[in-house]
């Protein structure tokens, strides 16, 4: 089944001078996989099979980035994975991300690779900015032992997302299958963050839980997302 983006997503914006690279076959040392999951996206580059390359054993930031790429930047993206320590063997026609020494490099003082993609392709979306904080929280937990305090909502979600990412690496042995399995996870996270951003901007309050459990809240937020999609 093909994965389709919900109607309430934001319209993506990309750099005007961004061009597709040539489509040469990658060397045998790199494993290429074209995801069976496709997301339609207005204003994104189309036509041909554009390759994006990162290191293998994708995890957290390097899983969120393929979601962002397919969802908002390049719905026809094909991902190539090269072994750690052999990054110089990556195909020349692929756009590198989360690889040291490239424009969209791994986490550093400029932020995560996810944040760098948002900046490069000018994706102005409050929900994506919140998601960037979630990803940063998970990455900081891994690299610096970060533990979110009370009220640090994005950081708390990031630590939980880290645990799920660790688990996905255990049940999916190939990078392409891991990315495909993660798409619905990140789509759900985006829906949650989008609803939170819209709720905050509207100044409305969630209905009480009452005797129907999560039904009132869910119905209210679904309606809020639909109103956003219709422009009302």
Instruction: Give 20-70 pLDDT, tens digit per residue.
Output: 433 333 333 454 444 333 333 333 444 446 899 999 999 999 999 999 999
Structure tokens at 171: 């049940």
What is the SS3 assignment for 53?
A: strand
Residue 107 has a pLDDT of 95
Residue 46 has a pLDDT of 40
Q: pLDDT-derived band of residue 5, with 50, 70 and 90 as boundaries?
A: low
Q: Does this model's pTM top 0.75? A: yes
Q: pLDDT-derived band of residue 135, with 50, 70 and 90 as boundaries?
A: very high
Most confident listed range (1-15, 27-41, 215-229): 215-229
Structure tokens at 169: 């690496």
Average pLDDT over residues 4-31: 43
> Percent of the chain, pLDDT > 70?
78
Tell me the pLDDT of the chain averaged across its residues: 84
CA distances from 206 to 105, 152, 199, 214 (A): 40, 20, 8, 11
Closest by CA to 23, choosing from 47, 51, 44, is 51
């Amino acid at each position: 089944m093909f994965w389709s983006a919900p109607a309430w997503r934001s319209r993506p914006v990309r750099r005007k001078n961004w061009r597709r690279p040539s489509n040469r076959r990658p060397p045998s040392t790199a494993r290429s996989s074209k995801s069976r999951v496709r997301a339609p996206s207005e204003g994104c580059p189309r036509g041909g099979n554009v390759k994006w390359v990162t290191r293998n054993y994708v995890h957290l930031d390097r899983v969120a980035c393929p979601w962002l790429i397919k969802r908002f930047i390049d719905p026809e993206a094909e991902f190539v994975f090269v072994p750690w320590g052999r990054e110089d063997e990556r195909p020349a026609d692929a756009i590198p991300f989360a690889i040291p020494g490239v424009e969209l490099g791994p986490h550093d003082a400029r932020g995560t690779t996810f944040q760098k993609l948002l900046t490069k392709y000018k994706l102005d979306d409050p929900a994506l900015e919140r998601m960037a904080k979630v990803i940063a929280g998970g990455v900081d937990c891994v690299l610096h032992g970060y533990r979110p305090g009370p009220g640090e909502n994005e950081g708390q979600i990031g630590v939980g997302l880290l645990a799920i990412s660790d688990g996905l690496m255990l049940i999916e042995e190939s990078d392409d299958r891991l990315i495909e399995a993660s798409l619905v996870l990140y789509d759900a996270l985006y829906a949650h963050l989008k609803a939170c951003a819209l709720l905050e901007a509207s100044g409305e309050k969630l209905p009480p839980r009452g005797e129907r459990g999560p039904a009132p809240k869910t119905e209210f937020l679904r309606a809020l997302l639909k109103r956003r999609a219709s422009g009302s």
